[in-house]
């Protein structure tokens, strides 16, 4: 249904982790892509940026503002959880999110999920305005890791044959 009534959702569904309901809710919430001069403005509109409370030299880490549509924000966070989860596709987004979440415990993972949701919002808006398709199927970093693993497996197999 979303593809028939809103063909722009097909472009957004090209991003791994973005399902039809997420794409449709994103398009219906933002209404027109021209509303935002820059794609970076979509994250704050959806409440995916941290609150700020600066006092002198202290700048504490606060929660997100939660402004905007909570349903779309929840869908984007769920998409980010899927991308970072065990069944997520091996993409540049996933590699960035895992790097962001690495070594910081559960709070770092939560921050990485929200940051990835914000990046998804910006990416979806950019794809919607330009109409381009995305090629996020595999990251160059992931390809390099895969080839290295294959090389190691081949050398291990050759060494066991020689023994």
* Angle formed at CA 68 by CA 134 and CA 1, multiple of 5 degrees: 50
Count of residues making up the chain: 163
* pLDDT, tens only, 27-43: 999 999 999 999 999 99
* pLDDT, tens only, 113-162: 999 999 999 999 999 999 887 766 554 444 544 444 444 445 444 555 55
What's residue 103's pLDDT?
77
Cβ contact 18:124 at 8 Å: yes
* pLDDT, tens only, 45-93: 999 998 888 888 888 878 888 889 999 999 999 999 999 999 999 998 9
Cβ contact 150:67 at 8 Å: no
What's residue 136's pLDDT?
62
């Amino acid at each position: 249904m979303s593809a028939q009534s809103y063909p722009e959702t097909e472009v957004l569904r090209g991003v791994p982790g973005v399902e039809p309901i997420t794409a449709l809710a994103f398009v219906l919430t933002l209404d027109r892509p021209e509303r935002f001069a820059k794609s970076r403005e979509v994250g704050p509109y959806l409440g995916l940026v941290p609150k700020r409370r600066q006092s002198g030299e202290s700048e504490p880490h606060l929660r997100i503002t939660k402004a905007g549509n909570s349903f779309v924000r929840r869908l984007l966070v769920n998409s980010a959880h899927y991308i970072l989860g065990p069944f997520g596709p091996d993409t540049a987004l996933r590699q960035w999110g895992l790097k962001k979440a690495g070594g910081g415990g559960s709070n770092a993972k939560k921050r990485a999920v929200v940051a990835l949701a914000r990046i998804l919002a910006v990416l979806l808006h950019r794809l919607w305005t330009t109409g381009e398709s995305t090629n996020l199927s595999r990251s160059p970093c992931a390809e390099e890791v895969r080839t290295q693993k294959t090389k190691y497996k081949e050398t291990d197999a050759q060494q066991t044959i020689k023994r």
